[in-house]
Amino acid sequence: MADYSATPFVGKTFGVTLDKLNKSFDRLAVLKNVSLEVRPGEIFVIMGPSGSGKSVLLKHVAGLEQPTSGRVLIGDHDASDPKTRERVHLALVFQAGALFNSLTAYDNLALYPREHRLCNEAGIRERVMRALQILSLEKAADKFPGELSGGMRKRVAIARALVMEPELLLYDEPTSELDPVMSATIAEIIATMRDHTAVTSIVVSHDRDLALGIADRMAVLMDGRIRAIGKPAEFRQTTDPAIANFLNPTIDLKHPRFRQLENDYE
Ligand X SMILES: Nc1ncnc2c1ncn2[C@@H]1O[C@H](COP(=O)(O)OP(=O)(O)OP(=O)(O)O)[C@@H](O)[C@H]1O
Name residues whose C-beta falls within 8 Å of residue 42's C-beta, 6 or more positions apart in sequence.
15, 200, 201, 216, 217
Q: Is 263 in the site for ligand X (CB under 6 A)?
A: no
**Binding ligand X by CB under 6 A: which of 33, 55, 133, 136?**
55
**Residue 261 contact, options Mg ion, ligand X, none, Cβ 5-8 Å cut-off depending on partner type:** none
Burial string for 132-166 (b: 16+ CB within 10 Å, else e) reads bbbbebeebbeebbeebeebbbbbbbbbbbbbbbb
Taking alpha carbons only, the member of 182, 177, 227, 175 closest to residue 204 is 175
Q: Is 68 in the site for ligand X (CB under 6 A)?
A: no
Number of residues near Mg ion (by CB under 5 A): 1
Q: Which is nearer to ligand X, 169 or 220 (CB)?
A: 220
Number of residues near ligand X (by CB under 6 A): 11
**Binding ligand X by CB under 6 A: which of 51, 180, 249, 256?**
51
Q: Which is nearer to ligand X, 108 or 201 (CB)?
A: 201
Give the C-alpha separation, 71 to 25, whole Å. 16
Minimum CB–partner distance for residue 30 and ligand X (Å): 4
Minimum CB–partner distance for residue 121 and Mg ion (Å): 36
**Binding Mg ion by CB under 5 A: which of 55, 80, 104, 133?**
55
**Amino acid at position 6, single letter:** A
Q: Is 53 in the site for ligand X (CB under 6 A)?
A: yes
Q: Which is nearer to Mg ion, 33 or 55 (CB)?
A: 55
**Binding ligand X by CB under 6 A: which of 17, 52, 84, 185?**
52
Minimum CB–partner distance for residue 140 and ligand X (Å): 26
Question: Which one of 53-61, 67-75, 152-160, 222-230 is the stretch in contact with Mg ion (CB under 5 A)?
Answer: 53-61
Cα distance from N-terminal residue to C-terminal residue, the chain: 66
Minimum CB–partner distance for residue 157 and Mg ion (Å): 15
Contact 34, 57 (CB under 8 A): yes
Q: Is 50 in the site for ligand X (CB under 6 A)?
A: yes
Give the C-alpha separation, 43 to 191, whole Å. 8
3-state secondary structure of 17: strand
Give the C-alpha separation, 43 to 81, whole Å. 24
DSSP per residue, 87-135: HS-EEEE-TT----TTS-HHHHHHHHHHHTT-S-HHHHHHHHHHHHHHT
Chain residues binding Mg ion by CB under 5 A are: 55
Chain residues binding ligand X by CB under 6 A are: 25, 28, 30, 48, 50-56
